[in-house]
Structures are given as C-alpha cells and as structure tokens.
Amino acid sequence: MNESEIISRMREAGLGGVGELDTSAADPFVVIEADSLRAAMLFLRDDEACAMEMMHCVTATERKASIEVVYHLCSYEHHHSLTVKVICERPEGGTHDNWRPAVPTVADIYAAANWHEREQYDLLGVIFTDHPDFRRILLPQEWIGHPLRKDYIYPSEHGGIPLELDAIPLYMEGGEEAVAAKKAERPAGEPLNQPPSKYSARPDAGGKAPESSEGKVNNSRDSAH
C-alpha cells in the first residue's frame, strides 16, 4: 500500500482526527490530532493490511508557531512506510520557560518509542503523558531547560563545571586558596563569573563581566617564568 491507501484505510476503520496526506515535503506525512494518536498507532500496528511493526524514530521540530512531533513507521511485512506528525500549536506568548507541549505517549505500543520520547523531552521539552519512565536521557538529570529550543539561554556552568570558553580553569593561577577566595566572592546562586568571549556569537550565557581587571586570570601558558 502507498501512503494515501493507508490513510483511507484508517478513515474506513472509523478513526477520527486523521488529516490529509501532505506531499509538499520530500517525505510525505499525515497530521494526526494528539487525542486520536494512540488509537491511530494501535490501528497501524495491529491492522493486518497495515502491519507497521516498526517505529524507526520519534523526533520533534520547533517551528515559529508550533512544535511538531514526528513518528516514522514502517512495515517489514508489506514494505511500506508512513510518517505521522502531531502538531502542538504554540499558545500566545508560549516560550521555553512557560510552555511544554503535551502529547500522549506511544511507548506502550512501540517499545522503541520509550527512549526516543525521553530524548525529545530532554532536548525540546515535549511532555509525553503517561510515559512509563519519564526522565532525561542524555543530559544530567538536574539540567535546567531544553537546549534545542530556539530561545534557550546557554548556561555558563553546571554544578561547578565551567562551560564557557573563557572560564577560569579549576586549577587557576594562584592555587586553591585563590579559587576558594573567588568562590566566596560570588553570592550563592550566581553563575560563575564568565562573560561570553568577545568572539563568541553564542546567546547571552547569563555570565557577568568582571568589575575590575583585578579578577582577571591569565590563562595563557606562556606566562610561566
């Protein structure tokens, strides 16, 4: 079967929320509403003529007005495949900080989706409701934010590990006392004091520029005498 035949078969079976086949993209896809996603996936897996036993990939894309979750399905038996999208509209004023789109999980239908959904949560902040083991998969558990969102603010450190290019090495000039003194100067909760490099085009890392040149550290190895 080709994609449009699969879709008309889904319609015949009485599944709601199934959109038209969109062939404008290189990879034709069908948009399914989030509410009917689980029923559609169950049908695609269990129906004799569809028999989509395999889910390659769950991925997500952030667009201006939405976040799209994309499922790639295929059938070994019939050698056909289908790309399914769920589009979560961005609410008014929805940003990285206040908007987490929610999609029902398919991890109990396709076991492969388990880790993939966790990855989409980790990197794009998509919530998969009723996921059996919903936590971050790549980044440390205590990481703040979802880095692949367009309006993500880059961290300058994580748990004391400097992440800025200009960061002071943990073994800085002056030995451990100087490091301890530097730490004490910094009020609790402040990020490590690294301003982004002047060559850096990264978004603002939330670091603070040093007030005087005194706090500056020479990282150049040539200054050993």
User: Footprint of another protein on this chain (CB under 8 A)?
Assistant: 139-140, 143, 147, 152, 154-155, 158-159, 161-165, 167-171, 173-176, 200-202, 224-225
CA gyration radius for the chain?
24
- Give the shortest CB-96-to-another protein separation in angstroms: 13
Kindly tell me which of 141 and 212 has the beta carbon lying closer to another protein: 141
**What is the token pair recorded at 42?**
């169950």
Question: Which one, 55 or 168, has the nearer CB to another protein?
Answer: 168
Cα–Cα dist 17/204, whole Å:
41
Q: How wide is the angle at C-alpha 172 spanned by C-alphas 170 and 177, nearest 5°?
A: 90
b or e along 163-195 (b: 16 or more beta carbons within 10 Å of the residue's beta carbon)? Answer: ebebbbeeeeeeeeeebeebeeeeeeeebbbbb
Residue number with CB closer to another protein (104 or 125): 125
SS3 222: helix
Minimum CB distance to another protein, residue 140 (Å): 5
Residue 78 or 136 having the CB closest to another protein = 136
Considering the complex, state which of residue 14 and residue 160 has its C-beta at the smaller distance from another protein.
Answer: 160
What whole-number distance in Å separates Cα of residue 213 and Cα of residue 41?
A: 61
Min dist. Cβ of residue 53 to another protein (A): 34
Least gap, CB of 125 to another protein (angstroms): 14
80-89/102-104 β-pairing = unpaired
Closest approach of Cβ 12 to another protein, in Å? 46
